[in-house]
C-alpha cells in the first residue's frame, strides 16, 4: 500500500506560512481529503519571512531605480535550498512529498526539483516568478514593485492599529477576509525595540530587495530536469504571468507540465482572493495524480 503523501506549501514574497490555512481548510473538506489516513499538511516560513524574520543585514537602498541590495536579492535560490532540505526530511522513509507554491514559493519549489530531480511526487504552482534576468547597472529599468514596496507603511503603535489599517487598506480590498486575518497572524510581529508596537516581519526594504533580485529562469535543458508532474495556475488579470511562456514549456514536455486556464477575474494574488477556488484547483490536480482514492471527488 502506498504511503500517504506530505503536502508542502510555500508562500510568496512578503507573506507567511499562515496564508495557506484557509486553502488547507477547504481542501480538508473535499471528498478526496476528508478521510485519507496519514496525509500531512506542512506550511513553512521561507527565509526573511514570518518566524524566520532576519534583520541582521541592513538593506542598502539606491533611490535611482530604485534598487535595494541585500542577501534577499537571491531569495528564490535561498528559499529553494530551505525547501529542498525540508522535503528531504519529510520524505525520509519513502513518503512522497507534493509541493504547492505561490509566486516566489512556487519558483523556489520548481528550482528545488531541478536541483534534485525526483524530490517531489508532484508540483502545483500558482504563478511562479519566472523570466529572463533583468538588465543591471545604468540600463536597469524602473522597478515598480520595489518602488511601491519601499513606500509601504511597516510599523504601528499596536496590533489593533495594524489590523485596522490592513482591514481598510485598498490594496487588500479584494482579499478574502479569512485569508487576510491569517496573513496578519504571521506577517505582523512585535517590534524588537518597542514592547507595544508591531511591525511587518518582512521589512519593506527586504521585500523590495527580492523584487530587485533575479527571477527563476531555466534553459530548455534545466526544464527537462523536472521529473514530477507539474501544473501551473494563474489569474486572468495578472500582470506577472505570461501564459504563452508556460504553454511553450509544456509543449516540449507534455507528459510533465500542464497549464491550466486562468482563474477568471483573479490577479496574481488569487490564493488570497479565492482560497476556496484555489483549494478546488489543487484537489483536482491531486485527484488526477492518483495519490488518493480514485472514487473520491471534490
**Structural domain contains residue 298:** no
Mean pLDDT of 216-241: 98
Burial grade of 101 (CB within 10 A; 0-12, 13-18, 19 or more): buried
Distance CA 209, CA 207 (A): 5
**Structural domain contains residue 265:** yes
**Structural domain contains residue 297:** no
Q: pLDDT of 156-205, one tens digit each?
A: 999 999 999 999 999 999 999 999 999 999 999 999 888 899 999 999 99
Instruction: Provide the H-helix boundaries in the chain.
Output: 21-28, 75-90, 104-115, 144-150, 159-167, 177-187, 204-212, 220-223, 243-252, 270-273, 275-289
Instruction: Provide the H-helix boundaries in 68-203.
Output: 75-90, 104-115, 144-150, 159-167, 177-187
The strands making up 188-191's β-sheet, listed across from edge to edge, are 155-156, 194-200, 188-191
pLDDT the model gives residue 195: 83
pLDDT at 115 over 90: yes
Q: Which domain holds residue 67?
A: 6-289
Burial grade of 248 (CB within 10 A; 0-12, 13-18, 19 or more): middle
pLDDT the model gives residue 64: 82
CATH code of the domain in which 141 resides: 3.40.50.1820
Distance CA 275, CA 40 (A): 19
pLDDT at 141 over 90: no
In this structure, the strands spanning 194-200 and 257-259 are unpaired
pLDDT the model gives residue 215: 94
Distance CA 296, CA 43 (A): 24
Mean pLDDT of 231-235: 99
Straight-line distance from the first to the last Cα atom of the chain, in angstroms, rounded to the nearest whole number: 23
**Structural domain contains residue 41:** yes
Residue 34 · residue 171 · CB < 8 Å: no
What lies within 8 Å, CB to CB, of 287 at 6+ separation is 32, 294, 296, 297, 298
**Structural domain contains residue 106:** yes
Query: What percent of the chain clears pLDDT 70, i.e. is strictly above it?
Result: 97
pLDDT the model gives residue 76: 98
Distance CA 213, CA 287 (A): 36
pLDDT the model gives residue 292: 64
Distance CA 283, CA 26 (A): 10
**Structural domain contains residue 44:** yes
More confident: 287 or 36: 287
- 166 CB neighbour count, 10 Å cutoff: 18
What lies within 8 Å, CB to CB, of 136 at 6+ separation is none
More confident: 244 or 38: 244
- C-alpha grid cell for residue 144? 515598480
- C-alpha grid cell for residue 132? 529572463
Query: What percent of the chain clears pLDDT 90, i.e. is strictly above it?
Result: 85
Burial grade of 138 (CB within 10 A; 0-12, 13-18, 19 or more): exposed
Nearest by Cα to 172 from 7, 14, 29: 14
**Structural domain contains residue 295:** no
Q: pLDDT of 65-107, one tens digit each?
A: 899 999 999 999 999 999 999 999 999 889 999 999 999 999 9
**Structural domain contains residue 296:** no
pLDDT classification of 298: cutoffs 50, 70, 90: very low
pLDDT at 290 over 90: no
Q: Which value, in Å, is the radius of gyration of the alpha carbons in the chain?
A: 19
**What's the structural domain count of the chain?**
1
Amino acid at each position: 500500500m502506498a504511503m500517504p503523501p506530505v503536502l508542502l506549501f510555500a508562500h510568496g514574497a512578503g507573506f507567511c506560512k499562515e496564508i495557506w490555512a484557509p486553502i488547507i481548510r477547504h481542501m480538508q473538506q473535499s471528498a478526496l481529503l476528508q478521510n485519507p489516513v496519514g496525509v500531512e499538511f506542512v506550511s513553512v516560513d521561507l527565509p526573511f519571512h514570518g518566524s524566520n524574520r532576519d534583520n541582521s543585514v541592513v538593506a542598502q537602498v539606491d533611490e535611482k531605480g530604485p534598487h535595494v541590495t541585500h542577501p534577499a536579492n537571491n531569495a528564490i535560490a535561498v528559499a529553494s535550498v530551505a525547501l529542498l532540505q525540508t522535503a528531504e526530511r519529510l520524505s525520509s522513509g519513502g513518503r512522497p512529498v507534493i509541493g504547492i507554491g505561490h509566486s516566489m514559493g512556487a519558483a523556489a519549489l520548481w528550482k528545488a526539483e531541478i536541483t534534485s530531480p525526483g524530490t517531489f511526487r508532484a508540483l502545483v504552482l500558482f504563478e511562479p516568478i519566472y523570466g529572463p534576468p533583468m538588465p543591471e547597472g545604468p540600463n536597469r529599468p524602473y522597478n515598480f514593485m520595489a518602488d511601491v514596496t519601499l513606500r509601504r507603511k511597516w510599523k504601528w503603535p499596536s496590533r489593533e492599529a495594524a489590523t485596522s489599517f490592513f482591514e481598510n487598506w485598498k490594496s487588500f480590498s479584494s482579499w478574502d477576509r479569512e485569508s487576510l486575518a491569517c496573513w496578519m497572524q504571521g506577517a505582523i510581529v512585535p517590534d524588537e525595540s518597542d514592547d507595544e508596537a508591531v511591525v511587518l516581519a518582512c521589512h519593506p526594504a527586504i521585500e523590495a530587495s527580492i523584487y530587485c533580485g533575479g527571477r527563476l529562469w531555466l534553459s530548455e535543458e534545466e526544464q527537462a530536469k523536472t521529473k514530477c508532474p507539474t501544473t501551473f495556475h494563474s489569474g486572468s488579470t495578472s500582470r506577472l504571468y505570461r501564459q504563452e511562456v508556460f504553454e511553450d514549456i509544456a509543449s516540449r514536455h507534455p507528459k510533465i507540465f500542464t497549464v491550466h486556464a486562468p482563474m477568471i477575474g483573479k490577479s496574481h494574488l488569487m490564493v488570497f482572493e479565492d482560497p476556496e477556488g484555489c483549494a478546488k484547483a489543487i484537489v483536482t490536480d491531486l485527484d488526477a495524480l492518483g495519490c488518493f482514492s480514485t472514487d473520491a471527488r471534490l
